[in-house]
Every structure is written in C-alpha cells, then in structure tokens.
Amino acid sequence: MTRLLLALAALLTVATPASGQLVVQKGERPPRRPEAECTEIFLPPAGDTTRGVYWEPTPRRMVLIDVKPPKQYVNAPIVMRMHVDRRGVVDSIDVTGISDSGFVRQLRKFSRGFSFMPTMYQACAVPGWTTMQFSFGAPKPGQRVWPDD
C-alpha cells in the first residue's frame, strides 16, 4: 500500500508542476480540441504564475536553404527564433549570429516555407516560439547531420 501511495505521489508530482511553473512536454501530443473551443486560449507569457505543460512547435516540413553564405558565416553558429501561429505557419523571425542584413533577409524568405505542428497548450493549438540553431558548411567527422542519424 505504501509503494502504491509513493508511486501515485511521484506521478502527481510529474503531472502537476509546482505553482508558477510551465513545463515543456516531450513526446506524443494530446488529441486536439476543436478550433471553436480554443479561440480564447493562449500560452501564458514568460514569468506568468500559471502552471501546466505545453508542447513546443515541431517541424512538419523544412525547406533546404539554397543560398551561399558570405565567407565570414561559413561554419559560424546561426540561431533563428521563429514565432509559429495557431496554423503552424511562421509569421515572425529573429536571426542572431549574422550582421549582414541582405543575408538575414534571404534566411527569413526561406524560413517562411517551414511548416510546423503548432504549440499545444490545454489541448489547443496556440501561437508559440521555437528556436533552430545551425551553421553552413560541411559536417565535421562524427558530426550528425540529422537528429536521428
């Protein structure tokens, strides 16, 4: 009986985050609620005291960035932070690691072709942010090209 209570307490601790804590959930997403039920649901902003779990946007379709970067950006780390709307469409992009505005414009153009499964919160698709870090150049020996390599 004691083991059962301890197991139940551990499960509740994982499933119910502490007050003021929003936790990123990994793995299978919950069934989605109808769009009509989700019009007033949004992911709480950072620093909000709401607690719960959510799923970040995950790529559905990626577009190969077919552009030659300026020499100074070959093998340099580039970070793209993208805002994904309820439909999974990228509607805003911040790029760091590059100061060349023309090249940033090209990256923004290509990233508009990305498609995501949107952020999920309370079984509703909501707008949210995702980050992608990459570099241009040949992979180094032993470096994985795709996450599942």
Identity of the highest mean pLDDT range in 31-35, 51-55, 124-128: 124-128
Question: In 1-149, which ranges are E strands?
Answer: 22-24, 52-55, 58-61, 78-84, 90-96, 115-117, 119-121, 124-126, 128-134
pLDDT tops 70 at residue 110: yes
pLDDT tops 50 at residue 126: yes
Condensed to tens digits (0 to 9), the pLDDT of residues 54-86 reads 878 888 876 666 677 788 888 888 888 999 999
φ/ψ (deg, to 5) at 115 = -130, 135
Task: Give the per-residue pLDDT at 14.
Answer: 40
**Residue 114 · residue 61 · CB < 8 Å:** yes
CA 140 to chain centre: 26
pLDDT tops 80 at residue 141: no
pLDDT tops 50 at residue 34: yes
Task: Give the per-residue pLDDT at 10.
Answer: 36
Q: Give the global pTM.
A: 0.68
pLDDT tops 60 at residue 109: yes
Lowest mean pLDDT among 32-36, 49-53, 63-67, 125-129: 63-67
